[in-house]
Structure 1
């Protein structure tokens, strides 16, 4: 498979090897430290920035590595192998937030922000989800109204990744009433230090310690007209959907990485531990669980790579991302559950990797579009294309 023109196969192989070494040698040994402190250590953040991880999916002209989605998913499978707090540090810069600017920003907006996002100097946060609008932005209540040369934003966002440390919010707001296919949503660049922007306390979550989320409030927040992404109100919804579709393939790859780690931990435990004097892995029912784990991971990896190729070529940027996200995140949940079962009581203990993985992967079925939303996208698209073909 030919890699992107920007980063050749040989160069990418070196990047991938470096990331794998960093994840397994530097981050994995510190997972319990990260979990206990609920934060990523500064030295690991600095190391990730030094490797270019805050901008690996941002084009080279803006100081990033310029990886395409096929390359992105290979890295994501490595990131998923350890605490998901690692990927969370730079995930929004490369993904849903950064891609809005890469694909829809004006030249001025790109000049102002992208280099600093790629270096990690600026943490960009994707402010879409609200108390009444999650996987589907149609229910958005945050409003933006024009006032002379400025826009004024009012509303509340919820579960916003990296909000407590964000320097820039890519904020979605309704500027007009929906009409036909126009949902009336625009996107704004809102620096975190803008008067009227406030971030709530860090959310206490089931898992993913060290990956911070919080509410964000916009109270009569004034931004200049130049803060409107793409210089157009119509760009917003398209920007959200495009970024989410790409992000879904990335999350699917992350799920594969987590499932691979759960499988590896299960195999190691089954081979090294005994029950009544017999290695756990000698029991056929345990072997059956390992077989189901392995098959799920292998299928997920193939599906993710396939979806990334379809996305990069433009062949499918709707159904394939949703199918990959749906299957891989559900699969990771099953694999993690089996991993706890294989470990027995040990698997339910804190500081045992499969216990953390079991909690962490549960969120993957919820964000960037729940499994239910993915099913609606897939099913609806199949019926629509069949109806169109029959005309």
Structure 2
């Protein structure tokens, strides 16, 4: 293993030092941003994974110390900020354990698999006076930012219908990479994993959800959970919603989109990463409408470009006291909605929020 006491570069000594816990598939997106000086005031400090080979490979690639025990990392490196990239079913326990060090914490989506675990995370972070941030990078996509601005300006009038579509490809080889993938105990299905960002966007745009009704199937792969799901939603403002999510698209990713329809406007953001401004129509014409095409992006993959803006928001929250766009309480909202979708799938009934899950299998470890 690399030297755990490797000093921080003097040129970066005033930066927030970030430790990454978990060296799986998503590590690359976080590590490349933090190690390439893309973000002023932040630097990658160290990495950790229980598998020594994964930890060492990441350490060598990004030139930082490697650990196989997150507590040893905290004791040796004392980072300013910790990002949890472990399997979803471990997010809660890792957050609660690391909160004892009093350091601010970022956790990848979903923040947890069970609502009671999310609540325990919030309590632990409050008790130890550390901030909790949840990765929802699609909120920072340029076209999504413009959509939100139009919504806040009242340009849609009465909201009528909100729809998200996730049509991605995840074959059996993807799920076979790790034993936890596609399991109820540690991952969940397409709703929890791939579509969770889009579910978050739908609720963020349309407002509080009153009830949901959902169905699912496992169509193309051998996993415990679903690879395909559909749902209808009723929002407290009277609007309706539709969720279509699948990882059974073949042979490659097709679409990750959101559309919002109101009495005086319609916006559809498409592309495979909610990145392409496809439709922008409003009854009241404004100067921004003439230049809206420039607010599309062309990301190389479904992760998009939002992680950089997410980390900048976290930095400004920590160092300048600015509001965090997605803190722990905000992250809990979409988890409750996803839990309600699974409750409906299991019961076959309409589920009203706010509720206590009874049949939802997320985070349940079979004896």
- The TM-score normalised by the length of structure 2 is 0.27
Q: Give 1 or 2: higher strand fraction.
A: 2
Q: Give 1 or 2: higher helix fraction.
A: 1
